[in-house]
């Protein structure tokens, strides 16, 4: 028996709910089982299609979403409730926007070996994902401190280091069209620590230190994995602290604000991937870069 009008699937003697209503299910023995929401079944169109490719890199994204953001929805719907707490709404916006940029970066990286130019667009997307992740941490930390009356002290050192690396790569293509090393087998760019030594085209053209360069596919893959590792560690810390936070009455009252209504319109956001088609996303907003003054912004553009 499925509550709230959902329907079920039985597979290997386990019962699952499908659709948006994911409350409780009775097993054949009459035992009531709690079904946890998942991105594959309960995410929006982008999350459902992209999560299988990103899940192994950043599994704590789903756990955080399940703890803090899925409960913001209207009953039986993918939409956020009307009148929810502003801090939680921005938390949801930043969290989802970081995900969309990560997905876009991964799609571009998979095609990096086909591109004969400097991968500035990849680093623009990685930089945005990193900055938005910083906004998530800042917003969640503010909620935590308001409810628990203490600083959660999430370590963001690695994210800040990566943000500086991505900024340098991203800015290089805005200063001029950078040179790359081409041969019959690969496209190579300066290693991060050697970027400042190869500003001019002739610096690259007459470079006599091949060890200063790295294949573009290897570098962008390393940077993507490094970012996902840093995100995983930060999200793990937030999720572990959230076990207590979810029992806090002030938190529950703050998260529970709003009313379930049917919205008048859906959202359509432009994909940040190489595919220029529009992506349907009823719970999303366009990716938002952090405002000046954020500790992740550093005042550098």
Give the domain extent around 69. 36-259+267-280
Integer CA distances (angstroms), 26 to 8, 33, 36, 42, 263, in order: 10, 6, 14, 20, 31
Q: Domain for residue 9, yes or no? A: no
Question: String of b and e for 242-258 (b: at least 16 CB within 10 Å)?
Answer: beebeebeebeebbeeb
Tell me, what's the pLDDT at 274?
Answer: 43
Note the pLDDT tens digit of each residue in 80-93. 999 999 999 999 99
Q: Domain for residue 212, yes or no? A: yes
Tell me, what's the pLDDT at 233?
Answer: 97
Please say if the pLDDT value at position 182 is more than 80.
no
**pTM, whole model, 2 decimals?**
0.77
Please say if the pLDDT value at position 277 is more than 70.
no
Q: Domain for residue 287, yes or no? A: no
Please say if the pLDDT value at position 151 is more than 90.
yes
Q: Domain for residue 5, yes or no? A: no
Phi, psi of 223 (to 5 degrees): -70, -40
pLDDT band at 15 (very low <50, low <70, confident <90, very high): very low
Q: Domain for residue 210, yes or no? A: yes
Tell me, what's the pLDDT at 236?
Answer: 98
d(CA 154, CA 230): 11
Q: Which two tokens stand for residue 148?
A: 């628990």
Share the mean pLDDT of the chain: 79
Tell me, what's the pLDDT at 290?
Answer: 40
Integer CA distances (angstroms), 139 to 87, 90, 91, 197, 290, in order: 7, 8, 6, 38, 11
What residues contact 175, with CB distance under 8 A and at least 6 apart?
none
How many Cβ atoms are within 10 Å of 23's Cβ, its own excluded? 15
Integer CA distances (angstroms), 182 to 105, 129, 147, 172, 185, in order: 23, 29, 55, 18, 8
Q: How many CA atoms lie within 13 A of 11 on its CB side?
A: 5
- In this predicted model, which residue has the larger pLDDT, 78 or 86? 86
Tell me, what's the pLDDT at 170?
Answer: 84
Task: Report which listed range, 1-5, 245-249, 280-284, is most confident.
Answer: 245-249
Q: Domain for residue 47, yes or no? A: yes
Tell me, what's the pLDDT at 264?
Answer: 67
What residues contact 74, with CB distance under 8 A and at least 6 apart?
80, 81, 82, 260, 261, 262
Tell me, what's the pLDDT at 276?
Answer: 34
What's the number of domains the chain is made of? 1
The DSSP call for residue 112 is G
Q: Domain for residue 158, yes or no? A: yes
Q: Domain for residue 290, yes or no? A: no
* Cα-Cα end-to-end distance for the chain: 56
Tell me, what's the pLDDT at 10?
Answer: 37
């Amino acid at each position: 028996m499925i509550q709230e009008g959902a329907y079920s699937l039985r597979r290997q003697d386990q019962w699952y709910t499908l659709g948006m209503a994911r409350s409780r299910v009775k097993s054949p023995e009459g035992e009531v089982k709690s079904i946890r929401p998942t991105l594959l079944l309960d995410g929006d169109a982008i999350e459902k299609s992209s999560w299988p490719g990103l899940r192994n890199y950043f599994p704590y994204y789903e756990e955080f979403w399940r703890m803090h953001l899925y409960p913001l929805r209207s009953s039986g719907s993918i939409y956020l409730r009307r009148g929810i707490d502003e801090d939680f709404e921005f938390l949801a916006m930043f969290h989802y926007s970081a995900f969309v940029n990560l997905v876009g970066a991964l799609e571009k990286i998979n095609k990096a070996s086909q591109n004969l130019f400097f991968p500035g667009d990849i680093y623009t997307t990685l930089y945005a994902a990193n900055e938005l992740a910083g906004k998530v941490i800042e917003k969640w930390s503010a909620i935590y401190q308001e409810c628990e009356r203490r600083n959660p002290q999430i370590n963001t050192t690695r994210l800040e280091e990566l943000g500086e690396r991505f900024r340098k790569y991203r800015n290089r293509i805005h200063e001029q069209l950078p040179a790359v090393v081409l041969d019959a087998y690969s496209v190579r760019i300066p290693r991060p620590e050697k970027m400042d030594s190869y500003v001019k085209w002739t610096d690259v053209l007459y470079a006599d230190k091949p060890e200063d360069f790295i294949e573009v596919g290897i570098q962008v893959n390393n940077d993507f994995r490094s970012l996902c590792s840093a995100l995983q560690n930060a999200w793990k810390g937030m999720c572990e602290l959230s076990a207590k936070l979810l029992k806090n009455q002030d938190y529950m009252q703050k998260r529970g604000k709003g009313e379930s209504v049917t919205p008048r319109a859906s959202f359509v956001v432009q994909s940040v991937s190489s595919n220029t088609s529009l992506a349907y996303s009823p719970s999303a907003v366009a990716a938002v870069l952090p405002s000046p003054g954020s500790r992740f912004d550093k005042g550098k553009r």
